[in-house]
Amino acid sequence: MADTDVRNVIVIGGGPAGYTAALYSARALLEPLVIEGVSWGGQLMNTSEVENFPGYSEGVLGPKMMSDLRAQAKRFGTEFVTDDAVRVDLSQRPFVVETGEATYRAKVLIIATGARARELGCPSEAALQGKGVSYCAVCDAAFFRDQKIVVVGGGDSALEDALFLTRFAEKVSIVHRRDEFRAEPIMLARARSNEKIELITSAVVDEVLGAESGKVTGLRLRSSKTDETWEIEAGGVFVAIGHDPNTSLFLDSLDHDEAGYLKTKAHSTATNLHGVFAAGDVQDPVFRQAVTAAGSGCMAALEAERLLAVEEQERAAG
Ligand code: NAP
């Protein structure tokens, strides 16, 4: 396994936060290395049109936007490793990051590993992903024109997805595990007044049906009150039950909340460890936007640059 020189900055993560952190660090002449992951680009790689990223007045496809961000970071000298970080050692500086192939060391680490959509966890879900099971209504809605669709979840994402899907689907059933909805009342009111939307409460998905035919044909639901099960017909199921941060590598070393999101200091991307910063969805359960992720990636790079400059001055002063 190759053991490389100590870098100024390693960014882990190839989404809007990671590439923006790399862009700013590269322009500060810190020669950053981005360990961007095998499937770089982050959640926007599964999105179609992005209409709310400033600067793209006509909208842009998610993958195109991510390759633009990557190219911009590259232009100023960012180096990329298209592999997953599999282990880190943050117990001393320089910090150590390992991929399957090599070991990298850096004075400063910027963690921008993002978050991923939660899965239902029922047996046939994985086999039917891309065959009727989707985690992104905006990406896949058009494939379900005039069909019966189920959205799972009771938060704002589920209701927003359901309302969006009514533009395409014949009928949208929202399946939620409780009677009370977590979503904003205004979203619930909109859903209730939409005649294409049906609310099925106190029910969970027991199984996604259709594995033997290779595409979703329906769902088996289970009452969370009585355990009774029943089946409903559906051509597609959109899972909108929240996200989990990609923080398993860091939970032993860094402060995090109950859900695993890394904690950063107020008005800063600094974690509890000197020299380790966190940017983007990995530390943000609230806003989760590409533009806010990019903004915090910029913050992390500026903070990294300042920290390294102060340390350099201290070294020079002896
Ligand atoms: P969320 O608010 O965490 O809601 C997740 C929903 O999924 C909850 O209703 C939860 O049920 C349910 N759930 C979780 N795990 C489940 C499981 N294993 N099986 C069945 N159901 C499960 O997530 P979100 O809707 O993605 O929203 C995240 C944040 O983004 C929120 O702050 C939200 O307000 C914000 N957001 C805002 C907008 C907007 O303003 N336009 C749009 C989208 C999202 P319980 O309620 O029983 O826990």
Q: Where are the domains of the chain?
A: 7-117+243-317, 126-239
In contact, 110 and 11? CB cutoff 8 Å: yes
pLDDT value for 44: 84
Give residue for tokens 């996604």: 208
233 Cα: distance to centroid of ligand 1 (angstroms): 24
Residue 136 annotated to the active site: yes
Strands (E), 44-152: 49-50, 60-61, 79-81, 87-89, 95-98, 102-111, 115-117, 133-134, 148-152
Query: Which of 47, 220, 48, 16 has the alpha carbon at shortest distance from 117?
Result: 47
CA 207 to chain CA centroid, Å, is 25
- Domain 7-117+243-317 is of which CATH architecture? 3-Layer(bba) Sandwich (3.50)
Pocket test for ligand 1, best of 157, 184, 292 (most atoms within 8 A of CB): 157
Question: Residues near 271 by Cβ (< 8 Å), separated by ≥ 6?
Answer: 111, 254, 255, 262, 263, 264, 265, 277, 278
| C-alpha of residue 159 to centroid of ligand 1, in Å | 9
Tell which atom from ligand 1 comes closest to the C-alpha of 287.
Answer: 30
Query: Which amino acids bring their CB within 6 angstroms of ligand 1?
Result: 118, 152-158, 160, 177-178, 182, 204, 240-242, 286, 288
Ligand 1 midpoint to CA 130 (Å)? 22
Taking the centre of ligand 1 as the mean of its atom positions, its distance from the CA of residue 185, in whole angstroms, is 13
Q: How far is CA 40 from CA 2, 45, 51, 83, 114, in A?
A: 22, 8, 21, 9, 11
- Does the reported pTM lie above 0.85? no
Print pLDDT tens along the chain (318 aa): 555 689 999 999 999 999 999 999 999 999 999 999 999 999 888 666 788 899 999 999 889 999 999 999 999 999 999 999 999 999 999 999 999 999 999 999 999 999 999 999 999 999 998 899 998 887 789 889 999 999 999 999 999 999 999 999 999 999 999 999 999 999 999 999 999 999 999 999 999 999 999 999 999 999 999 999 999 999 999 999 999 999 999 999 999 999 999 999 999 999 999 999 999 999 999 888 899 999 999 999 999 999 999 999 999 998
Q: Which pLDDT value is given to residue 95?
A: 98
Q: Are the C-beta atoms of 188 and 166 separated by less than 8 Å?
A: no
Please tell me the predicted confidence (pLDDT) of residue 279. 98
Topology at the third CATH level for domain 126-239 = FAD/NAD(P)-binding domain (3.50.50)
Q: Is 60 helix (H, G, I), strand (E, B) or coil?
A: strand
Atom 19 of ligand 1: nearest residue by CA position: 120
The residue from 83, 139, 244, 255 that is catalytic is 139
Please determine whether the domains at 7-117+243-317 and 126-239 fall in the same fold group of CATH: yes
Output the CA 154–ligand 1 centroid distance in Å. Answer: 6
182, 207, 243: which to mutate for ligand 1, most atoms within 8 A of CB?
Answer: 182
pLDDT value at residue 138: 79
Q: What is the pLDDT of residue 288?
A: 85
Under a CB-based contact definition with an 8 Å cutoff, are residues 9 and 304 in contact?
Answer: yes
